[in-house]
Amino acid sequence: MQLRDYQNEAVQSVFDGWNAGIPGNYLISMPTGSGKSLVVAALTDKLHHQYKAKILVLTHVMELIEQNIQKLVTLSPGTNYGVFSAGLNRKELHHDVVFASIQSISGHIHKRDRFDIVIIDEVHTVSDDGNSRYRKTLATLKMMNPNMRVIGLTATPYRMTTGWLHKGDDAMFDCIIHEVSLLKLISDGYLCNIVTKSGAVHINTNGVAKRGGEFVSGELETAAMTGDVTESAVCDMVARASDRKKWIVFACGIDHAKQITDALISHGITAKMVTGDTPKAERADIIKEHKAGALRALVNVNCLTTGFDNPAIDMIACLRPTGSPGLWVQMIGRGFRMHPDKKDCLVLDYTSNSINFGPIDKINPKEKSGDSDGIAPSKECPECTCIIPAQSRVCSYCGYEFLEAEIKIEHRATEAPILSTMIEPEGRKVENTWFSVHSKPGKDACVKIEYQCGFDTYYDWVFPKSKFRSAYIKTCKEWKIEPFDNAHDWVAYANGKNLEGPVNIWTVPDGKYTKVVRREFVPF
């Protein structure tokens, strides 16, 4: 089995980091469908056979344990490994390589000698609570071996409540040692493109309580099932996805999932549902039916976001609003894998997730969000379409009164862009350009370029430092300027030569800011 270039780079980044003396625990960020299991296998193989390390591979889902083992056996057939998982009916603790579920091994870790390396798959599931199973187990392992290192892999290296996994005083990881670009994997043909169809969508969450930044499930489910929302959404789904063969639908709760499933069946769509309460054997049979084509739609509640692998999925319907960017990315990620029977994956979002979070390749979580719901602090008045503060009960423009518990999932799917490449840049004429040095305490200075376009000002940033070397050199060539080693020399040269700026720029939204993505210069 041959690793792809980006998988080899991910593996090598760990050893390059150690060789460079970068301390601590490492994160590897890779999109869903990019082959994290193969990277886990390659890391395990190299660490075990070349460095004689004792390795524990941890995860929280039985299916992921099986996937990781299968990849290691394929890559390195002679590896002697153990498995500690109640779900797999194996409790083998004393091998040099052990694959385990955190639920099964947490109370038994003290019964063996040390581990040198712990690899955690889907590490975003590790709680920041010091009393959680993961945290207690890692603390015990660290006492047994103070030099133990942790390597985490995930498609979403952040939490809803605390932001990035490698930032903050109590962060478990010290850095993201390697990150694989979602857009590059799509453009290189390793991942499937995501598409949306035109439509209208709006969700108003006023009156639905939140806890820990996420909607209270019972209240959200009640709101989502109110009126004819489900029936209308299913009608829209059937119309828009008539040419799609493998559907996965995300619901708010068990009753909601049943309502959706019944509606799909009434429209002639073969469908079944799986939830956390579905017995394992029954769940496995339903998933087999879906993969085999006996079921067109698989409706689920919080159980098919990790450890579920069906590359043939070509339509994702979301009727599950969330305040968690990680959960949103994981849901969309079910459609990333390539399959001969599909050219792309259609996403139908019957919530405001895609509007609230923006393109999934540009999500930038807050450092500390506390109980924030992660949703934009504004809303649209349904009467006059003016944008007003989210907490407003009455529109200040037309007087429209919002209901106390008003929440509405529109009957058609959104056309908000799922990927940043779907955003059409907007052209602007540049009247003036200024150059200055921008610096912050403890950080290298950068070049700040300001463009005056009518009454608006837009900004470019140039970072003359080694980690941005290729982008820096490309920018210097575009401006016809020498690649100086520091921002002060760059700005002095630009101002001294009265450097001409572009005549036009093109911008796209980038979170709460605007990013310049293209410049048009007068021929030199």
Other Cβ atoms within 10 Å of 183 Cβ, number? 15
Find the range with the poorest average confidence among 19-28, 149-158, 391-400, 482-491.
Answer: 391-400
Tell me whether the CATH fold assigned to 5-180 matches the one assigned to 193-420: yes
Q: Say what the pLDDT of residue 160 is.
A: 65
- For the record, the structure tokens of 421 come out as 């490449």
Give the C-alpha distances (Å, rounded to integers) separating 301 from 45, 318, 392.
36, 11, 32
Q: Say what the pLDDT of residue 204 is.
A: 47
Q: Say what the pLDDT of residue 518 is.
A: 86
Give the C-alpha distances (Å, rounded to integers) separating 169 from 21, 172, 368, 435.
21, 9, 11, 36
Between residues 304 and 100, the one the model is more confident about: 100
| pLDDT bucket at 82, cuts 50 / 70 / 90 | very high
Domain 5-180 part of CATH 1.10.3210.50: no
Pairing of strands 297-300, 247-250: parallel
Nearest alpha-carbon partner for 111 in 135, 91, 125, 126: 91
Q: Say what the pLDDT of residue 171 is.
A: 84
Are the C-beta atoms of 22 and 14 separated by less than 8 Å? no
Using the Cα atoms of residue 249, residue 252, residue 254 and residue 256 in order, give the sign of their dihedral.
negative
Which of 103-117 are b and which e, b meaning 16 or more Cβ less than 10 Å from the residue's Cβ? ebbbeebeebeebbb
| pLDDT bucket at 369, cuts 50 / 70 / 90 | very low
Between residues 209 and 464, the one the model is more confident about: 209
Checking if the pLDDT of 370 tops 50, the result is no
- Per-residue pLDDT tens over the stretch 171-188: 889 999 999 988 889 889
| Secondary-structure percent of the chain, ordered helix, strand, coil, rounded to 5 | 30, 25, 45
DSSP assigned state of 401:
B
Q: Say what the pLDDT of residue 143 is.
A: 94
* % the chain with pLDDT above 70: 84
Query: For residues 166 and 178, what is the distance between their CA atoms, to the nearest angstrom?
Result: 12
Phi, psi angles (nearest 5°) of residue 133: -60, -50
Stated as kind and residue range, the H or E segment containing 178 is strand 175-179
Tokens 């109590």 identify what position?
170
Are the C-beta atoms of 223 and 407 separated by less than 8 Å? yes
Mean pLDDT value across residues 490-512: 84
- Per-residue pLDDT tens over the stretch 228-280: 888 888 988 898 898 999 999 999 999 999 999 999 999 999 999 999 888 88
Q: Say what the pLDDT of residue 163 is.
A: 78
Q: What is the mean pLDDT of the chain?
A: 83
Ranges of each domain in the chain: 5-180, 193-420, 424-520
Does residue 268 come out as left (phi exceeding 0), alpha (psi in the -120 to 50 range) or beta? Answer: left
Query: For residues 35 and 22, what is the distance between their CA atoms, to the nearest angstrom?
Result: 25
| pLDDT bucket at 78, cuts 50 / 70 / 90 | confident
- Which residue blocks in 427-515 are alpha helix, DSSP H? 469-479, 487-496
Q: Say what the pLDDT of residue 419 is.
A: 75
**C-alpha dihedral (239, 408, 278, 299), degrees to nearest 10:** 10
Tokens 């593996």 identify what position?
11
Find the range with the poorest average confidence among 106-115, 214-223, 263-272, 440-449.
Answer: 440-449
Assessment of whether the complete model's pTM goes beyond 0.95: no
CATH superfamily for 193-420 is P-loop containing nucleotide triphosphate hydrolases (3.40.50.300)
Q: Say what the pLDDT of residue 299 is.
A: 96
